[in-house]
Amino acid sequence: MSASVLIVEDDRELRELVRRYLERAGHAVRTSGTGAEALGMLANGGIDLMILDLGLPDVDGMELLDAAHGPGSDVPVVVLTARSAVQDRIDGLRHGADDYVTKPFSPTELVLRVQAVLHRTRGGATASGAPAFGRGRLRIDEARHEAALDGAVLDLTPTEWGLLLALASVPGRVFSRYELVNRIRGYEFSGYERTVDSHVKNLRRKLGPDGGDIVATVLGAGYRLGWSRDT
């Protein structure tokens, strides 16, 4: 489920890190380092979801939360902040935050939370609304953290789930082993790249006779989802 996502974060390096992960997941991303600029972007429309740092230098993050859910606007918001106190979370949720991620965080987890919020707000969190592949045979429901093949729910490990989700984010696109490591783990992990093949083997086994077609090998390059997404 692709979307237009606005990242509002004054830390440039963190802003760019989140942008890269969201773009890899197939989203169109716009960024802002100030609250004033973000308010203008919201007013112009075209934003499907906002990732918001509450600790901005110029505008109180709560003001942006109110603007996202104000008259003529209903943009879901994932709050990304260093404020970890329970009261801060409560205040954010009361101002309309749809989810709350506390720094430090895993970029992969943040992408998954964004996807879950999009599913909820777009009415796609039910099994029948989950993205389907291979003419309905494979369904991947991010909101439920569940994948099913021919109606049978797959018993996947967290790594196998992350692997399948990464490949399904852009069906047909070839992902290198290095890319998959970073998508699954959220950071570079020395030596882990060599184990990707083992996880692919286990995932294919759980996918049954069609495993090799669903998770296809591209020699010398990596892996891709061999089944296209249903329209």
Residue 30, both tokens: 């716009």
Q: Tens of pLDDT along 87-98?
A: 666 766 777 788
Residue 181, both tokens: 């490591």
C-alpha to C-alpha distance for 217 and 226, rounded to whole angstroms = 9
Q: Tens of pLDDT along 165-176?
A: 989 988 899 998
The pLDDT of residue 84: 60
Sheet holding 146-149, edge to edge: 132-133, 138-141, 146-149, 152-153
The pLDDT of residue 124: 44
* Residue 34 reports pLDDT greater than 70: yes
Chain position carrying tokens 């790249």: 193
Does residue 105 contact residue 14 with C-beta atoms inside 8 Å?
no
Within 13 Å of residue 24, how many CA atoms lie on the same side as its CB? Answer: 23
Of residues 95 and 160, more confidence is placed in 160
The residues, any chain, with a CB within 8 Å of residue 227's CB and separated by 6 or more, are 133, 134, 137, 138, 171, 213, 214
pTM value is: 0.54
C-alpha to C-alpha distance for 122 and 178, rounded to whole angstroms = 32
Quickly state the pLDDT bin for 22 (edges 50, 70, 90): very high
Q: In Å, what is the CA distance from 119 to each residue of 116, 225, 227?
A: 5, 21, 21
The residues, any chain, with a CB within 8 Å of residue 38's CB and separated by 6 or more, are 6, 8, 32, 50, 52, 59, 64
The pLDDT of residue 231: 65
The pLDDT of residue 115: 84
Give which of 164, 193, 72 is closest to 156, Cα–Cα.
164
Rounded mean pLDDT, 182-203 = 71
Quickly state the pLDDT bin for 195 (edges 50, 70, 90): confident
* Residue 73 reports pLDDT greater than 50: yes
Give SS3 for 122: coil
H/E stretch holding 108: helix 107-121
Domains annotated for the chain, with CATH where assigned, are: 4-121 (3.40.50.2300), 127-225 (1.10.10.10)
Q: Tens of pLDDT along 101-141?
A: 888 888 888 888 888 888 777 654 334 457 889 888 899 98
For residue 74, the one-letter residue type is D
DSSP 184: H
Quickly state the pLDDT bin for 202 (edges 50, 70, 90): very high
Q: Tens of pLDDT along 7-19?
A: 999 999 999 999 9
